[in-house]
Structures are given as C-alpha cells and as structure tokens.
Structure 1
Amino acid sequence: MEDVPVMSIGEFARRSRLSPKALRLYERQGLLVPTAVDPVTGYRSYAEDQLDAARLIGRLRRLDMPLAVVGAVLAAPADARADLVAEYWAAVVRRIAVQSDLAAYLRSMLSEGKGLSAMYEVSSRAVPDQVVLTEQRHIRQPELSGWIGAAMSRLFTTALTDGGPSGSPFVIYHGEVTEDSDGPVEVCVPVAREVAGTPSRVEPAHTEAFVRLRKREVRYPQILGAFDAVATWVTDQGHPLTEAPREVYFADWEKIGPDDPACDIALPFKP
C-alpha cells in the first residue's frame, strides 16, 4: 500500500491559512481530526486531502457560522452544502433586520422620542361598532405571545360554529404589560352576532390612529416604538384619547413572511 503524504501541523496551518490554535479547536470539536498524533510528542500530522475541508471551515467561520452549523455543512452530501449555507445566511439576514429595528427603537427611546415620526407613518381611520367574542386575562410580557395565540385560536374555533369571524382579531391593552406589570389584556374576535355561552360585548364605533408593522417588527421591546409613535401623533394633533391601545392582526400569521405587513398598532381618539 502506498504511503499517504502527510505534513506537520505548522505546514498544514500555513497551507490551509488556519492557525495551529484553530486547528486544535477544530480537532476537539471533531471537525478536522489529524491523520496521526505521535503518542510521545503529541505532534500532529495532516494529509494533503484534508486541505479542502480545512479551507472550507475557514471560509464558513468568516461568516461567523457556529461550529455546530459548520459541522452540519461538512457532514452533508456535497450537493446539499450550498442549501445549508443559504439557509444559515437567510437566518442571519432576518436576525440583523430584527436587531436593526431594535437599535432604531433604542435610539429613539434614548433620545426622548426624537426620530419616531421618521420611523413610523401614522394614519387614521373610522372603525364601525362590532360585536366581539372576548377573552381577558392579567398576564406579564414573557407569557403574552403564547397566551394571545391560544386565546385567538379558542375564539376562532367558537366563531366558526356560527359563520366565522366577521373582521380582523385584535388585542386590547387595558393596562401596562411588562416583565413586572400584568395588564389586563383582552383578545377580541369580531363576529356577526353573539354566540351563546361565550363572553362577548359590543366594541363601540371610534376613530383611531394607527401604524402598520411588518411581521418582524411585531417583537418586544421594539414594538413599543410603534405604540409611542401613535400616542405622540394623537397628542400632537390635540386629540383626547378615548380607549386603550390595541394590536389589530389582519394577516394570517402562519402564512406570511418576516417582511410582510402583519399588524396595525392602533389607538382610538376623539376627533
């Protein structure tokens, strides 16, 4: 059998453009294991045909790809690796977009609201009265999203027993909701008429100011900037506030993408 040419860790580091320290890390992670390790000296040897894998690891790490994801790319069939890199980078782009929104909100908050008008376009509209099925609960922010989804699902199921919803569901914040404050919060699903045995009421007709958010913007705490923008607009227009702020969900949350319109942040006022 022909001997396979090997090289020292120093030479392999030079040719792969990876440091010996990085090579030892990748060895510990099982990503790039030397062909041999001298039991006495601990000297490591690498084969020529390991250079392609080493260079690929280096390039993936320049994308700040976690080692676990790098390992998945290396373990994948050659024809699947490009798709894994594309999936990883798409997730990075989504994360950066969310962080960008959060940074903009924090800049506005730390500058006492300056720049809110540039971040959000506030409009107004008339809303007719409507019968709504409701579910209300005192709840803090960490549990809020899960409860809203579950409550809407229950109310939608009830509405479907009598013709289905007649409008977009919305969430009313009757009190402040944070990590320390628990609302209360009310989920409402409009219907044509009351459903026996289910809490319901008439939501009065009103005029409301609102801003439209994309799905990725409906996150805490950056969503607070939209509430602040609407409240500032109403106050600047000299209108008295009449009702609690709300989120109006007009899109199918599960079917839309992160950059699709998803929710209106609305605040009723007296014209």
Structure 2
Amino acid sequence: MTAPSRVQYRFLPARTLLCAINHLRPARLDNFVNGASLALPTVLTEQGLEQLGPVAIIYHSPVTEESDGPVEVCVPYQGELSVPNGLTQHTDPEHREAFLPLTKREFMDSALFGAARREVEQAARANGDVLGPLRRMDYGVWATRGEDEVVGELAVPMKWFNQLRPESRGRLFP
C-alpha cells in the first residue's frame, strides 16, 4: 500500500509578475536567485506597490555545467509599474496548480527534494495538462525557521482534465 500523496491543489487567478531572468551555470545560481529575491520586492516597494505572494523561482531548463537554464525569479504584484532596465514583466494566466509545502530539511537534502519534486510532478500529470515548468516558491522565512518547519513549496501549473478533481470533495465538474 502506498502512502497518500501530500500534494495539494489550488486555483490562481491571472496575475502580473515582475521577473529577472538569467542563463547561468551552478556556480552563479545561488547569487542570482538570492540577489533577485531581494531586489524584486525592493523595486515594488520603491514604486509604492505591494508584493502579492511569495517569490517564485522557475527553472525553464536544468542548470548544470552543460545547461545554463534559464532561471527566472518572479514576484506577483498589482498596479502600474515602471519596469527597470534588465527586468521584465508578464501576465501569468489563470490556472490551477499542484503544490507541495516543504520544510527546510526537504529543500536542503537532495534525496528528499528529488522525491518531493517527483511527487508533485506526477500528481500534476495525473490530474491535468502541465502548463509550465516546476516552480520553487520561497516564503522568505529561512533565517527564522528550523529544519522541520515549512519554508516554501514546489508547484506545477496545470490545466485540469475533465474528471473528478481532488479539491472537489467528490463533486463532479463539467
């Protein structure tokens, strides 16, 4: 008997994202992600706008010695923004997503992270058409949380199949 999936599902409305994107190798990955995760919310604050959700790190392709991504760091916001040079904005269309909250230990342990990634990707494929690459959400609480406390999540955007949906609690949708 297999353990029940920890994957959850939610609907996200269309939203505007401020993004930094870069092609890079592993040696520069942490500096880029950490820098962009701090800089993007600052851009919003300086223009009087509010961040509407966690920072999302999107790996469009693997980052290895042979592959340079790209990697995109994004923050959702609402309002009129003057986009600084070197950044972009785009609309993330409404969608559902499969997501899995993770502890600091799960993010730091490559075996646990790999298992979580497979679990959320399999759940997304089993319940819909995958619309984009895996997203790593960062709640911005790493410094204040212990190893077994949730600090973020993995998410996969998807379009539901016409079937019984996990969050429907047994009701069928057309």
Q: Same fold (TM over 0.5)?
A: yes
Shift of 1:254: 2.1
Shift of 1:185: 0.8
Which residue does the alignment assign to 2:105? 216
Q: 2 CA distance for matches of 1:178 and 1:269?
A: 26
State the AA in 1 paired with 2:15. Answer: Q
1:173 correspondence with 2:62: no
Find the residue that maps to 2:141 and give its secondary structure.
coil
Which residue does the alignment assign to 1:256? 145
State the AA in 2 paired with 1:236. Answer: A
State the AA in 2 paired with 1:167. Answer: G
Q: 1 CA distance for matches of 2:28 and 2:83?
A: 27
Q: 2:120·2:156 contact (CA, 8 Å) conserved in 1?
A: yes
Question: Structure 2: where are the runs of 5+ without partners?
Answer: 161-174
Task: List aligned pairs for 1:105-120, cutoff 5 A.
Answer: 118=3
Which residue does the alignment assign to 1:267? 156
1:153 correspondence with 2:32: no
Which residue does the alignment assign to 1:232? 122
Q: 2:97·2:124 contact (CA, 8 Å) conserved in 1?
A: no
Larger RCO (CA within 8 A; separation ≥ 6): 2
Task: List aligned pairs for 1:50-89, cutoff 5 A.
Answer: none
Larger Cα-atom Rg: 1
Q: Structure 1 length as normaliser, TM-score?
A: 0.52
Cα distance change, pair 118–176 in 1 and its aligned pair in 2 (3 A): farther
Q: 2 CA distance for matches of 1:231 and 1:133?
A: 25
Q: 1 CA distance for matches of 2:150 and 2:142?
A: 10
- Higher share in helix: 1
Find the residue that maps to 2:42 and give its secondary structure.
helix
Aligned length: 155
Pick from 77, 82, 99 the counterpart of residue 196 of structure 1. Answer: 82
- Higher share in strand: 2
Find the residue that maps to 1:153 and give its secondary structure.
helix
Q: Provide, for residues 213-257 of structure 1, a one-character-per-residue CA deviation record: whole Å limited to 9, x for no partner.
A: 0012113633222221111122333x2211121011224222222
Question: Structure 1: where are the runs of 5+ without partners?
Answer: 1-114
Report the identity percentage.
30
Q: 1:120·1:226 contact (CA, 8 Å) conserved in 2?
A: no
Find the residue that maps to 1:240 and give its secondary structure.
strand
Which residue does the alignment assign to 2:29? 144
State the AA in 2 paired with 1:122. Answer: V
Find the residue that maps to 2:52 and give its secondary structure.
coil
Which residue does the alignment assign to 1:94? none
Find the residue that maps to 2:28 and give its secondary structure.
helix
Q: 1 CA distance for matches of 2:106 and 2:66?
A: 22
Which residue does the alignment assign to 1:31? none
* RMSD of aligned alpha carbons: 2.2
Which residue does the alignment assign to 1:122? 7
Which residue does the alignment assign to 1:242? 131
Cα distance change, pair 181–119 in 1 and its aligned pair in 2 (3 A): farther
